[in-house]
Amino acid sequence: MSRKKTQDDDISNNIPDGADFKNLLKLFQKLVDQTVAQKRDERLGLYIKDAEEIDYDKFFAEVQRLFGTDVKPQDVKTFYRKISNNPDGRTEWCEIFGYYILEGDALAAQLDEENMVFLVSKKQRISKAGVKRRDVIKCIVKVPQLDFLVVASQKGMLSVFSSQMRILTSTSIPDTSWITGCDYLSQLKRVVAVTERTIIIWDYKTQGTAMDNCFIIKPVEHCIICVCAVQRPAELLVKDDILLGDDGGYVNMYTMTSDDFGLKQSKAKKKAQIMVIDSRKFKSIRRKLHEDWVVKVKYFPALNCFGSCSLDSVHSLVLDDLRRLEDNTPVREFSVPRGVNAFTYCGKANIVVTGGDDKILRLWHPNINTKPVGKLMGHLFSITEIVTNEKDQHIISLSTAKIFRVWDIQTLSLMQVFHDSQAGPRETQIFTMVFDNNHGTLITGSAVIDIYPLTRVIQDTKQVPQTHERSINVLIYNKVFRQILTICSESIVKVWELETGQQIYQIEDAHGPNVELTCAAIDKNGFHLATGACDGTVKTWDFGSGQQLKVLPLIRESTVNEHWLMQMVYLKASGSRHVILVLEYSGTIKIVQGNEGEVYLCITWELPEAVSLALQGNPLMSLKLSPNAKKSNGFFPDVQLLLDNVPVKKSKNELPLKTEVKCFDLLRVEGYNLLATASANGAIIMWDFESATARHIFKAGNTVQDGEELLGINGLLFLYRGAVSERKLSDTSTDSLDQPSDVNTTQEVESSFASIKKEAVKSETDTKTETSEAKFTGSPTLENRTLGSALLEPPNQETERRSRPILASGHEDGFIYLWTITGDLLREILPFTKHPPIPLTALCTGVSSKTLFAANKEGHVIRWHIGSFLEDPQDTNKHIKQQICWRAHSAKIVSLFYEEEKSLVVTAASDSSVRLWHAPDGHYIGYFGQRRLFELLESADIILPCDVNEIPFSIRDNSKYMDKKQKFEYPLVLDREKWKTLTRSSLSLKKPGPFEVDQDFKFFKALASPMINKHPLESFKSGSKDTGVVFGSIPIYRVATPPKIKPIHTKDQEDSVDSIGMRSRIISHSPSRVAAAKAAKAAKTLQAPPF
């Protein structure tokens, strides 16, 4: 047998022995048999609840009565969950105490490994660690600011490893002494290493051998055992202090500046050996603090103190300021029997931890050296290394037997024990150990480098997230209890805790074998659940216990997918009545209702089809509302369409294609009773039961240009926030979980409502319809809203002005369209995802409706800020700003919701996973189904799932993708007409004087403001041809030579006159100008004086 939890070393002393214990085991086995029999009957649907039902609380109380209160709840819970999920599985009594049979329960052992802090099975070994033959790694130093490792071997090999454990550079020190330690000098950007008699400074950035980039400082008085660099803030003078511990009990401090390793020395004449610097040239101080060897020396910037430890039992640990090295004042000493081999400091807990040959870890307050604040015992051999995991508040200790122990600082409990089982004959000792906080790994050095990853890192980055075995069909959120419900295509229902990710319970084959669940909904109070299946059956459940309440049976056999339920909303759930609004695959919207005293649910209401009628010349249809003929549901009366243009009867094949309703959304608040339906062909019908109208908003608003056709709609979402910032009834929608928002309206919308009511009243029948409408919009509606007595009062003008809903629709072409309820198109939003437009699959918003989220088929999640837009939707200056986009899945996202209070986003995709994200930055938290609990604290580290490689990107307010208008004035450009004018007249102008050059420079006279269309220049595409026009207009000029004294012309100089004529021919292209130039030259020659 293998132990589940190695830290549980003590079994309760209250457990009796002998015959008494055997009798207790018999009683326990009887309890297990009763529970297993009950679970079998529950799975077969034969169990009837009674007073003798054994639930978890009763099972746990009975186990504690038998074996005492020291039996751990998590062990009992694991055992109970095992027999609940698999009643026919093998169980053993020892599992109740945390023990498992390895052969019979290999899965439990595997899951137990995933609960550990370090996943030892995923250990990575670096065999080629840059060491020589028969060499060992003596020291490893992590440089967090540069994210690399400095590794020193015993025989003089220095290497720098990248974060991917690749050797960046290395050098070999030709020294006969062994290296005892190394560190990194952050100011000088060099590596310091020490041997027994020398100090080595290595410039790792310079290429070449150790002869070119290494300095040796010697001599030293004692044998150097350890070294540490003092990490200090950057100063004007680049310098570093190093601390050295030697075998004489001294702690030395050397100060090194950049001048000590300057160009004069580094560029000196190359010699056959490494440059040696006298140690007396450096400023150094020393003080004897121990009576034995100084084993380790460290510096803690958080304490502004250095620490040194020794095997001395009196002066075991010294922790004090660096100034104590210069004086003889007493230092703060900690005394430990048999000395201290290793120590570390945890900044969050403000604890110093020591360990040595007495095998005990002691926890000290830095300022209290008289008595430790805690002790951790468990090691059987001497402790050689101690490191801390600051983020998780863990201590990792190592003994000479190569056994690692992980401790929790806050609870002082042991969390994990593991050992190096793969060591060969040469790897008999681990010399160094560091913890990489950047990547969550434990790194050890012997003859090889071993890397132990944290389990949470493997789960987050390497394990494929999997919540169900099959693709996810449904994701809904119970915001009352902060729990989520997921359903996969295998019809397995699972309920999870949002904040921890723990599974509460699951239901298998909820609607029977081989019946796929396709939709679900939770009532507003969070106590009831409704599920719908592909065969049209509907069931209601108690959400807390998962017990079935009522069912809508399958009445008759249907055609393929005819009654497939696609979406549902829980309108009301009470002891007397359950009302559920459902959408079938055929496009029919129905109400499934169950009253008190009835065994089964039944269909009591159906919405008539309106899309085909609207497309045949009826964009606005009046409704005749009458009392429910079957049963009063309290929400919607019976509806009959009153048409202006009676459509021509056509066969089913002649009707418009794709008119079936594919999704809907519901808004029932003060003054509004709206139902929006969308079809696959992009048609939206707005059913207004307050004004008794049904409007095809595309045609009524004239928002679609001729020849254009909007693609199918995959999601609808009402954005609304009235007097009470809370959505009722529709907030449990499986598609979007709509939430309220704050929307203003204009006088045009109000007048449109008045015109709608006038158009609706056309005959006596319509007048009677209005009477019946008033009857159905009275007390039943207010009763179901449960908005409080404040809503019974008539709203004031400000409330009325701010309570106009906005409808958002997500389309197959990747656009989001925002509409008024009268069909006016307000905005078109195209998500920016670094990809071509991708079909949208889901929309959601928060309680305040300041943020809008959308998901698409490629697994992206996009977030917009819509708060300013909803303040006044008619204002064109109010923009909708995209804030961030991240890749959440590698497959299609089927649903998502936003928990605004916790700033969390949950996504479900067809890749069988449900994942949790930080909404502000898109950082990955985890997936539902992982063994580790969620850590909701926001982390600066960007962690991505293994199937996602795109880092979240945010768009700033002044980003080029969001604002195409430039903020600067266009520069002056060359006016070609002015340039031609100035060029033609340039020969007739006199040569300017030295003070007239600036005023006469023709290029600057030809500059003018650009008289071109600026819109092409506002393109945000890099390398645009239009953008280059401005710079392409600037000509290249030749600088004129200075004037010279004109000599007297001779006969030989006449050729120069001809050359001048050739130059004038180049300057001027017109024949008239060439002729004028020649005439001027001839006249000038005739006027020349005779010799």
Task: Read off the pLDDT of each residue in 706-734 and give the average, rounded to a whole number.
Answer: 59
* Cβ proximity of 388 and 353 under 8 Å: yes
Task: Read off the pLDDT of each residue in 108-122 and give the average, rounded to a whole number.
Answer: 65
Name the phi and psi angles at 769, rounded to 5: -65, -40
The CA distance from 589 to 743, in Å, is: 28
* Cβ proximity of 397 and 416 under 8 Å: no
Report which of 522, 464, 465 is spatially closest to residue 493, judged by C-alpha positions.
522
The CA distance from 712 to 904, in Å, is: 29
pLDDT at 237: 65
Q: What are the CA-CA distances from residue 883 to residues 46, 769, 858, 921 (Å)? A: 54, 48, 19, 9
pLDDT at 184: 94
Name the phi and psi angles at 584, rounded to 5: -95, 165
**Tokens of residue 1002, six digits:** 């023709």
Task: Read off the pLDDT of each residue in 255-263 and give the average, rounded to a whole number.
Answer: 78
Under DSSP, the state recorded for 608 is P
Q: What are the CA-CA distances from residue 1049 to residues 865, 1045, 1083 (Å)? A: 82, 12, 14
Sign of CA dihedral 643, 646, 649, 650: negative
Alpha helix positions (H), 171-285: 210-213, 263-266
* Cβ proximity of 606 and 588 under 8 Å: yes
Report which of 107, 79, 74, 87 is spatially closest to residue 2, judged by C-alpha positions.
107
pLDDT band of 906, cuts 50, 70, 90: very high
pLDDT at 940: 63
Which residue has tokens 């120069």?
Answer: 1056
- Burial classification of residue 796, based on how many CB atoms lie within 10 Å of its CB (0-12 exposed, 13-18 middle, 19 or more buried): exposed
* Cβ proximity of 718 and 820 under 8 Å: no
What is the tens place of the pLDDT at every residue in 345-357? Answer: 999 899 999 999 9
β-pairing, 441-445 vs 472-478, is unpaired
Question: Which one has a higher pLDDT value, 420 or 858?
Answer: 858
Under DSSP, the state recorded for 697 is H
pLDDT at 459: 65
Question: Which one has a higher pLDDT value, 973 or 768?
Answer: 973
pLDDT band of 161, cuts 50, 70, 90: very high
Task: Read off the pLDDT of each residue in 680-704 and give the average, rounded to a whole number.
Answer: 74
Report which of 441, 442, 351, 339 is spatially closest to residue 383, judged by C-alpha positions.
339
Long-range contacts of 754-760 (CB under 8 A, 24+ apart): 756/620, 756/688, 756/691, 756/693, 756/695, 756/822, 757/691, 759/620, 759/622, 759/693, 760/622, 760/623, 760/691, 760/692, 760/693
Question: Which one has a higher pLDDT value, 174 or 162?
Answer: 162
β-pairing, 148-153 vs 1007-1008, is unpaired
**Tokens of residue 739, six digits:** 């939430």
Sign of CA dihedral 57, 63, 69, 74: negative
Q: What are the CA-CA distances from residue 205 to residues 130, 182, 212, 806, 1074 (Å)? A: 17, 17, 11, 61, 67
- Burial classification of residue 809, based on how many CB atoms lie within 10 Å of its CB (0-12 exposed, 13-18 middle, 19 or more buried): buried
The CA distance from 811 to 38, in Å, is: 49
Report which of 322, 323, 390, 402 is spatially closest to residue 353, judged by C-alpha positions.
390
**Tokens of residue 863, six digits:** 């977030």
DSSP string, 629-681: SS---SS--EEEEE-SSPPPP--GGGSPSS-SEEEEEEEEETTEEEEEEEETT
Residue 76 has pLDDT above 60, yes or no: yes
Which residue has tokens 């509907």?
Answer: 538
* Cβ proximity of 713 and 819 under 8 Å: no
pLDDT band of 560, cuts 50, 70, 90: low
Q: What are the CA-CA distances from residue 87 to residues 37, 66, 84, 106, 814 (Å)? A: 8, 22, 6, 17, 48
What is the average pLDDT score of the chain? 76
Report which of 762, 751, 750 is spatially closest to residue 622, judged by C-alpha positions.
762
Q: What are the CA-CA distances from residue 570 to residues 44, 55, 709 (Å)? A: 28, 28, 34
pLDDT at 1046: 52
What is the CB neighbour count within 10 angstroms for residue 954? 14
β-pairing, 214-218 vs 275-278, is parallel
Task: Read off the pLDDT of each residue in 934-951 and give the average, rounded to a whole number.
Answer: 79
104 Cβ contact partners less than 8 Å away, ≥ 6 residues apart: 90, 92
Name the phi and psi angles at 173, rounded to 5: -90, 120
* Cβ proximity of 669 and 785 under 8 Å: yes
What is the tens place of the pLDDT at every residue in 646-675? Answer: 665 554 444 456 678 889 999 988 888 899
Sign of CA dihedral 1064, 1069, 1071, 1073: negative
Percent of the chain with pLDDT over 90: 33
Question: Which one has a higher pLDDT value, 717 or 634?
Answer: 717
627 preceded by cis ω (within 30°)?
no
Under DSSP, the state recorded for 135 is -
List, in sequence order, every residue forming a beta bridge with 529; answer none if it has no partner. 522, 541
pLDDT at 362: 95
The CA distance from 116 to 105, in Å, is: 17
pLDDT at 765: 38
Residue 968 has pLDDT above 60, yes or no: no
DSSP string, 103-126: TT-HHHHHHHHHTSSB-GGG-EEE
Residue 722 has pLDDT above 70, yes or no: no
Percent of the chain with pLDDT over 70: 70
Name the phi and psi angles at 237, rounded to 5: -90, 120
Residue 864 has pLDDT above 90, yes or no: yes
Task: Read off the pLDDT of each residue in 983-997 and give the average, rounded to a whole number.
Answer: 48
DSSP string, 37-79: HHHHHHHHT-----TT---HHHHHHHHHHHH-TTS-HHHHHHH
pLDDT band of 109, cuts 50, 70, 90: very low
pLDDT at 958: 52
Task: Read off the pLDDT of each residue in 571-599 and give the average, rounded to a whole number.
Answer: 88
* Cβ proximity of 173 and 166 under 8 Å: no
- Burial classification of residue 399, based on how many CB atoms lie within 10 Å of its CB (0-12 exposed, 13-18 middle, 19 or more buried): buried
Name the phi and psi angles at 352, rounded to 5: -100, 130
* Cβ proximity of 98 and 72 under 8 Å: yes
The CA distance from 1056 to 1024, in Å, is: 48
The CA distance from 398 to 396, in Å, is: 7
Alpha helix positions (H), 230-300: 263-266
